[in-house]
Structure 1
Amino acid sequence: MDLKKILIVGLGSIGLKHLRIAREIFPESIIGVLRHKKTNEVTADADKIFFDLSQALKFQPQIAIICSPASEHVKISSALVGQGVHVLIEKPISDNQKGLEELNCKAIKNNCVLAVGYNLRFLPSLMKFKNLIDKNLIGNAYSVRSEVGQYLPNWRKTDYRDSVSAKKILGGGVLLELSHELDYLRWIFGEVESVQAEIGHQSKLEIDVEDTAHIILKFKESKNKSNLVASLNLDFIRHDKARICHVIGGKGTLRWNGLTGDIDLFEPDKTKWKNIYKYKMDQDGSYKDEWLHFIDCINKKITPKISFQDGIKVLNIIESIKIASSSGKKVLVK
């Protein structure tokens, strides 16, 4: 593919990252940026700036990266796909189910690649973690404990109260903003059968969305004829930033640290953890690999590792979690 025109939609922190990476990988391409607010600010690495979707469509990009608020993803993606543009949608694919199937059908009709930006799947440490579990390093998995958390005001460089994370209308809250965990747990352990949950606003943060979620995920029957159960905690309130997953098996416990790139093993009859894998974290590495994979899917006409259907399944789980929390009951995931 002779990539001449690229469009980046949205210029928040993730949009700026994608813009920088696009310029690095494709130095000769013309890169346009669609922003929702008019400004005279000069945008480094961008060749053209648009403030209206119709202007961006006239630019006729070949690919687009959607980094706008989740509530705008479907509308913008649908317009681009309708013009034959290949689209990578940053997670989550949307804040609700409306228009998703129509968007998928339109992409199929126009031979467009639709990919979803769950970039953690491109982390070497997480890929290794999955590989070790698949190879039964710790035997059959009996239990999973996963958590991610970071104090929202420290996460956002601007006023957190104005961020996407803080506003329901933009698709904020821990369930959508921290949905990476739901994606990688599905990827490693299979489809989720049912959920139980308690979600809420526990802190004094000035936001109108949930800042905490305590979730129980029951996976569909595995190859060892058991239903694996995982506990998942998501939050915007902890000051000790964390992204970690423990898998407890018949032959030991495996621990992945998503912040350091470490994988540790605790073997039976041992008294301490043993580091068995370490990958020096590269803040841009997984995003660059995601970009290259996206382009490869277009060139080879293959399905992305994280497909549009994967994005829909994560959203299905999120909606089931909300119902479970409000009803106080176990909810089957559709």
Structure 2
Amino acid sequence: MKIIFFGLGSIGQRHANILLKDYTHDLYAFRSSAKSKPNELGIKELYSWDELEKLKPDVAFITNPTSLHIETAIKCAEFGCKLFIEKPIGSSLKDFEKLKKIVKSKKIVTYIAYNLRFHPIILKLKKNIENKKILHARVVCTSYLPTWRPDRDFLKGYSANTNMGGGVILDLSHELDYISYLLGDINKMTGTYSKRSNVTVDAEDFVDYLLETKTTPVNIHINFLSQLRQRYIQIDFDQLTIIADLIDSEIREYKNDILHKTEKVDYQKGQEYSDQIKYFLDNIDNPSMMNNLSEASGLFEKITAFKNHE
């Protein structure tokens, strides 16, 4: 199978390395200019859409800056490529309807890559809360953007720049996705966000959401301005509180303010990315695979409406 990458930044290289290590597909990289520095993975490079048309790739991995996702996906869909689109779908709704129409008319297989759906903690939690009445859920995700990619100038990266699709709302939309996955569709989304520090050029660096899902109310705090790295989900039941900690890879149960049980969950760093690609390739001919464009579009539209104060 021929697979072409659009964007070989950190996430593109992560996906490509998994494919190079675990599979035998032919990989290619689409570059914006022949003057670009050759990629470090030794992947064959293409420099024009004419070359791509002759190549006839089977799959396109859309891993370029968020602001380019939709226009790139449209062009690839027009060539009949199956689409692996790194989250989020895009930075705005511009041309989104066009993408949906092309995907539907050509019956293009699509997948929106939210890797945390494959994290062992999320999978374990989903099983643990099944058919249980949830009173409330709280999610916290804090980190410090300059430490994300220490070998690069963080202010030049897309995360720090609004025009590239950066900011916590889009860049850290994992939490909204896995809450939908765990607790059902988000019916109402309100909250506040702004830029409070110097870790971005102009993008928001924190957001607080108040949500109503299909099953329960949820509040979510996300930032990348904090000196304390945290990522956990707290779920309250009538006689039990669970904290699922994605950093420590454990699930803690509390009763009457006392730690009742701690369950360590086996986790190998990066395994959720490998499991995600395996799922995608195993379902490569299934237009109804989990989190396809049609399924993911509702959340994406809610996120962009929230960001635009609509």
Q: Same fold (TM over 0.5)?
A: yes
What's 1:313 paired with? 298
Alpha-carbon distance, 1:22 to partner: 1.2
What's 2:212 paired with? 218
Answer whether contact 1:212 1:237 (CA < 8 A) is retained. yes
Residues 279-299 of structure 1, C-alpha deviations (whole Å, 9 max, x = no match) = 22321x111221121122224
Residues 198-254 of structure 1, C-alpha deviations (whole Å, 9 max, x = no match) = 10001122411100101111124x3xxxxx211111111012211111001112011
What's 1:13 paired with? 10
2:69 is the alignment partner of 1:70: no
2:143 is the alignment partner of 1:143: no
Answer whether contact 1:246 1:256 (CA < 8 A) is retained. yes
Residues 130-151 of structure 1, C-alpha deviations (whole Å, 9 max, x = no match) = 1111142xxx211111011211
What's 1:176 paired with? 170
Answer whether contact 1:23 1:45 (CA < 8 A) is retained. no
What's 1:225 paired with? none
What's 1:90 paired with? 86
SS in 1 for 2:226: coil
2:244 is the alignment partner of 1:295: no
Cα distance in 2 for partners of 1:188, 1:296 equals 23
Alpha-carbon distance, 1:270 to partner: 5.9
Answer whether contact 1:261 1:281 (CA < 8 A) is retained. no
Alpha-carbon distance, 1:273 to partner: 4.7
Answer whether contact 1:88 1:114 (CA < 8 A) is retained. yes
Alpha-carbon distance, 1:52 to partner: 3.7
**Shift in CA distance, 281/261, structure 1 to aligned 2, threshold 3 Å:** farther
Please give the TM-score of this superposition, normalised by the length of structure 1.
0.86
2:282 is the alignment partner of 1:286: no
Answer whether contact 2:107 2:287 (CA < 8 A) is retained. no
Alpha-carbon distance, 1:320 to partner: 3.5
SS in 1 for 2:56: coil
What's 2:51 paired with? 55
SS in 2 for 1:61: coil
Cα distance in 2 for partners of 1:43, 1:213 equals 35
Give the gaps of 5 or more residues in structure 2. none
Alpha-carbon distance, 1:322 to partner: 2.6
Alpha-carbon distance, 1:310 to partner: 3.4
Answer whether contact 1:141 1:249 (CA < 8 A) is retained. yes
SS in 2 for 1:198: strand
**Shift in CA distance, 26/281, structure 1 to aligned 2, threshold 3 Å:** closer
2:119 is the alignment partner of 1:119: no
Return the match for 1:245 from 226, 233, 245: 233
**CA RMSD, Structure 1 to Structure 2 (Å):** 1.9
Amino acid across the alignment from 2:186: V
Return the match for 1:209 from 200, 203, 211: 203
Cα distance in 2 for partners of 1:168, 1:60 equals 33
Residues 87-117 of structure 1, C-alpha deviations (whole Å, 9 max, x = no match) = 1100000111222232222123223211100
**Shift in CA distance, 47/272, structure 1 to aligned 2, threshold 3 Å:** closer
SS in 1 for 2:135: strand
2:143 is the alignment partner of 1:155: no
**Shift in CA distance, 122/66, structure 1 to aligned 2, threshold 3 Å:** same
**Shift in CA distance, 282/237, structure 1 to aligned 2, threshold 3 Å:** same
Query: Which stretch of structure 1 is more off in the superposition, 235-244 or 104-113?
Result: 104-113
SS in 2 for 1:275: strand
What's 1:80 paired with? 76
Cα distance in 1 for partners of 2:228, 2:284 equals 40
Answer whether contact 1:89 1:117 (CA < 8 A) is retained. yes
Cα distance in 2 for partners of 1:64, 1:292 equals 15
**Shift in CA distance, 21/74, structure 1 to aligned 2, threshold 3 Å:** same
SS in 2 for 1:71: helix
Give the gaps of 5 or more residues in structure 1. 223-227, 325-330
Amino acid across the alignment from 2:17: R
Query: Which stretch of structure 1 is more off in the superposition, 185-194 or 163-172?
Result: 185-194
Alpha-carbon distance, 1:277 to partner: 4.2
Amino acid across the alignment from 1:94: G
Cα distance in 1 for partners of 2:172, 2:33 equals 26
What's 1:185 paired with? 179
